[in-house]
């Protein structure tokens, strides 16, 4: 792990709280002039357009930043239509070709790449900028700041304000549940499997799943389930487990295999977008995902869709995965603007939380009301496997072996052996 940089390369905010004194010089960006002849500094970024809904991720933050700092800084966003997995892989290619934008997202979803970027000095250390700005610090929940900090106190991921929007649970179709005679979401894992059986008996596909990418949907359920035991909860806290051939690893594999017995054949060899379509076409009764899917619920489905914690009151949450980083090598002016953007994002996230919690429940869609009730019910937060496990396993191995496990062509024991092989491959590639 990289040591915190105290050699003058860190950032400090000026009295106004936004201007940064930077000792690190970078490339000079060509920027346009405003009508008054002043230079408006361009901050290049790449953000995703959701392929399922056409929604531009974080567009509200970008619009507010460009409105607020017009004539000084401008976030120039290249909106791309690709999956999150494709975006993450492109980050690696852009790093090699030195074409990274000034601000990057999703970096903590790639643990090995993230730490390589720190060690190579490719991203800025932000602790001085954040800790010396009392206003910025006051916006950040302690648990969120801790999740974005390294053991030595250094910060390379600008935090959001609250964990309130970073949690994942289960979305469920109230109408399909009612057709099966089920009036509430199951509270225990035994009840969950009984619920799946009941739905299936009534001709309803219980789960919308997928195997590609990092197998996000099924892995959410399986890792929440393994945390129902003390050993499993400890396993989910491990960073880069050295083996999956243990009771917890086998339990996850068995749960995955069982989950795929409750989904459609179309779930194999596809990514999350297919699961999304499966759920929002009424072909499946449940879809695991996070709060961020609230604004992706189609209008005609808003009264049908509910939200619940995973059984035993569990949510998956890793606020650090929402942290944004600033790429080194840009000019001081660009990095000053990037810091202002990061602080504004924290502020808007805080305001969004306050607005949500103060909102009249009658004006909310049912899933939103459910989410707030779940979040306030002191759920057990289980770390996301995506910030804990090696990249080879997540990005390559799971997509290759999960279909075989799902179809019974591979045993849970063989599955965990393949997972362990990914560890060895990962270690060799790091040398």
DSSP 132-199: T-HHHHHTS-HHHHHHTB-TTS-B-SB--S-GGGSEEEEEEEHHHHHHTT--S--SSHHHHHHHHHHH
Q: Is the residue at 269 inside a domain?
A: yes
Does 135 share its domain with 256?
no
Residue 5 pLDDT level (bands cut at 50, 70, 90):
very low
Does 191 share its domain with 286?
yes
> Which one of 18-22, 31-35, 111-115, 177-181 scores highest in mean pLDDT?
177-181
* pLDDT confidence of residue 38: 62
Full domain range(s) for residue 240: 167-318+377-430
Does 228 share its domain with 243?
yes
Q: 201: helix, coil or strand?
A: helix
Does 131 share its domain with 245?
no
Residue 160 pLDDT level (bands cut at 50, 70, 90):
very high
Does 393 share its domain with 260?
yes
Q: Is the residue at 292 inside a domain?
A: yes
Does 237 share its domain with 148?
no
Q: Is the residue at 193 inside a domain?
A: yes
Q: What is the CATH number of the domain that holds 23?
A: 3.40.190.10
Q: What is the DSSP letter of 393?
A: I
* pLDDT confidence of residue 24: 32
Does 99 share its domain with 151?
yes
Q: What is the DSSP letter of 212?
A: S
Does 137 share its domain with 238?
no
Domain count, the chain: 2
Q: Is the residue at 5 inside a domain?
A: no
pLDDT at residue 34 greater than cutoff 50: no
Residue at a domain's end among 331, 358, 385: 358
Q: How far apart are CA 206 and CA 116, in angstroms?
A: 41
Q: How many of the other CB atoms lie within 10 Å of CB of 184? A: 12
pTM score, whole prediction: 0.74
Q: How far apart are CA 242 and CA 238, in angstroms?
A: 9
Strand 73-80 relative to strand 41-48: parallel, antiparallel, unpaired? parallel
Q: Is the residue at 291 inside a domain?
A: yes
Q: Is the residue at 151 inside a domain?
A: yes
Q: Is the residue at 372 inside a domain?
A: no
Assess contact for 27 and 102: CB atoms under 8 A: no
Q: Is the residue at 367 inside a domain?
A: no
Does 23 share its domain with 52?
yes
pLDDT at residue 92 greater than cutoff 90: yes
CA-based end-to-end distance of the chain: 15
pLDDT tens column, 292-323: 999 899 999 999 999 999 999 999 998 998 99
Over the chain, what is the mean pLDDT? 89
pLDDT tens column, 161-216: 998 888 999 999 999 999 999 999 999 999 999 999 999 999 999 999 999 989 99
Assess contact for 291 and 166: CB atoms under 8 A: yes
Q: How far apart are CA 83 and CA 58, in angstroms?
A: 15
Does 311 share its domain with 206?
yes
Does 196 share its domain with 247?
yes
Does 25 share its domain with 121?
yes
């Amino acid at each position: 792990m990289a040591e915190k940089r105290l050699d003058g390369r860190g950032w400090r905010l000026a009295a106004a709280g936004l201007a940064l004194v930077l000792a690190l010089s970078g490339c000079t960006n060509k920027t346009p002039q405003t009508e008054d002849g002043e230079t408006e500094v361009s901050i290049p970024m790449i953000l995703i357009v959701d392929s399922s809904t056409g929604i531009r991720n974080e567009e509200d933050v970008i619009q507010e930043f460009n409105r607020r700092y017009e004539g000084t800084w401008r976030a120039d966003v290249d909106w791309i239509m690709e999956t999150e997995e494709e975006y993450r892989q492109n980050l690696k290619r852009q790093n090699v070709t030195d074409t990274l934008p000034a601000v990057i997202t999703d970096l903590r979803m790639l643990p090995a790449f993230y730490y390589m970027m720190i060690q190579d000095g490719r991203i800025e250390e932000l602790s001085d900028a954040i800790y010396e700005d009392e206003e910025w610090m006051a916006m950040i929940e302690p648990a969120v700041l801790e999740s974005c900090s390294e053991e030595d106190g250094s910060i390379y991921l600008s935090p959001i304000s609250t964990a309130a929007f970073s949690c994942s649970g289960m979305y469920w179709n109230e109408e399909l549940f009612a057709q099966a005679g089920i009036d509430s979401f199951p509270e225990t894992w035994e009840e969950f499997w009984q619920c799946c059986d009941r739905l299936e008996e009534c001709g309803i596909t219980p789960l919308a799943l997928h195997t590609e990418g990092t197998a996000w949907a099924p892995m959410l359920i399986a890792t929440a389930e393994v945390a129902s035991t003390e050993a499993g909860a400890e396993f989910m806290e491990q960073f880069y487990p050295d083996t999956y051939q243990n009771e917890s690893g086998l339990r996850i594999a068995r749960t995955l295999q069982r989950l795929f017995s409750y989904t459609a054949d179309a779930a194999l060899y596809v990514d999350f977008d297919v699961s999304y379509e499966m759920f929002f076409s009424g072909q499946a009764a449940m879809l695991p995902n996070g709060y961020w899917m609230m604004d992706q619920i189609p209008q005609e489905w808003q009264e049908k869709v509910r939200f619940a914690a995973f059984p035993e009151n569990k949510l998956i949450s890793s606020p650090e995965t929402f942290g944004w980083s600033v790429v080194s090598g840009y000019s001081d002016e660009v990095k000053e603007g990037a810091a202002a953007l990061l602080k504004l994002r924290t502020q808007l996230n805080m305001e969004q939380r306050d607005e949500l919690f103060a909102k009249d429940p009658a004006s909310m869609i049912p899933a939103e009301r459910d989410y707030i009730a779940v979040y306030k019910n002191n759920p057990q937060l289980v770390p996301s496997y995506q910030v804990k496990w090696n990249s080879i396993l997540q990005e390559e191995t799971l997509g290759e072996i999960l279909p075989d496990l799902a179809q019974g062509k591979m045993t849970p024991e063989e599955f965990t052996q393949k997972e362990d092989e990914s560890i060895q491959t990962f270690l060799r590639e790091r040398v």
